[in-house]
Structure 1
């Protein structure tokens, strides 16, 4: 029986800033279906990036932006504000690399809990659960897409050093 070799591509992570908003916009356009209303505008991202405790992390695969996270730390808690992975890069370790980096950064900064919010039914829930997040709450009709249809949001949380 012949063995099959699969090339493993490294996911490079780097800290981003406001100069990377064109990359963030492009990734959100590609990754977020507009019918759910999850993507942020450029001005929302710019405004949040100016806040204390906000970090933008970009994932690069083969010199091409593959995903990003935006987190915000306040006191001893943090929130994963946004995570996006280009559809062609899903299930290839990009989301895992980004989540692990966010958790490691929280640990290094003595953050006790990391929170996130996700649309009910989003496939990313499996990724979050695999990294120790548990559902702690729900917001009814939180997301509204371009058609006006409302979608619930679920809140997840994870202890950092457990």
Structure 2
């Protein structure tokens, strides 16, 4: 699974339970706590051992720049989390992680990809540019840190 781009030496590596400190550090920097999108450490740890779940880290020089967490079940795959450290955003790391999600999901037999994102999150443009189509809205899905409720947008892509 290790891939690299010569210009920046970013490697995509399979993550494990021992990588959760790095995952949480990236998530803390990448997700605004105001919106309630980030997962807790226990949520991440709880899903890792489940069948079909993969954690992928984007690393350079021993530093974790981003990660994706996804699962494949039968012919469908779901991108559960994708985060890139703000200092590494706009440099192709998110695209590398998203492409890896799509490729590995297809290799595992998935033909349909799913994800959800907070309404208003600028990542919607990123996912739409990658071919994901808006499929629905989950009203009041996220709970912000001040109690406000925010819709989630669901996206799908057929591969």
TM > 0.5 fold call? yes
* Offset, 1:8: 3.4
Instruction: String of CA shifts for 1:1-49, please: whole Å, max 9, x gaps.
Output: xxxxxx9313210000111110111011110100000011111101110
Find out whether 1:73 has 2:65 as its counterpart. no
TM-score, normalization: structure 1? 0.92
- 1:61 and 1:115 map into 2 onto residues whose CA distance is 28
Tell me how large the CA RMSD over aligned residues is: 1.2
Partner of 1:4: none
CA shift for structure 1 position 110: 1.4
**Structure 2: where are the runs of 5+ without partners?**
1-5
CA contact (8 A) 2:74 2:109 kept: no
The separation in 2 between residues aligned to 1:24 and 1:73, in whole angstroms, is 20
* Greater mean deviation of Cα atoms: 86-95 or 8-17: 8-17
Task: Give the alignment's TM-score, normalised by structure 2.
Answer: 0.93
**1:57 matched residue in structure 2:** 56
Structure 2 counterpart of 1:150: 149
User: CA–CA distance in 1 between the matches of 2:64 and 2:145?
Assistant: 26
Task: Please state if 1:96 is matched with 2:95.
Answer: yes
Q: 1:77 and 1:67 mapped to 2: Cα distance?
A: 23
Aligned pair count reads 154
Find the structure with the greater CA-based Rg. Answer: 1
Aligned-pair distance for 1:146? 1.2
Q: Which residue of 2 aligns with 1:33?
A: 32
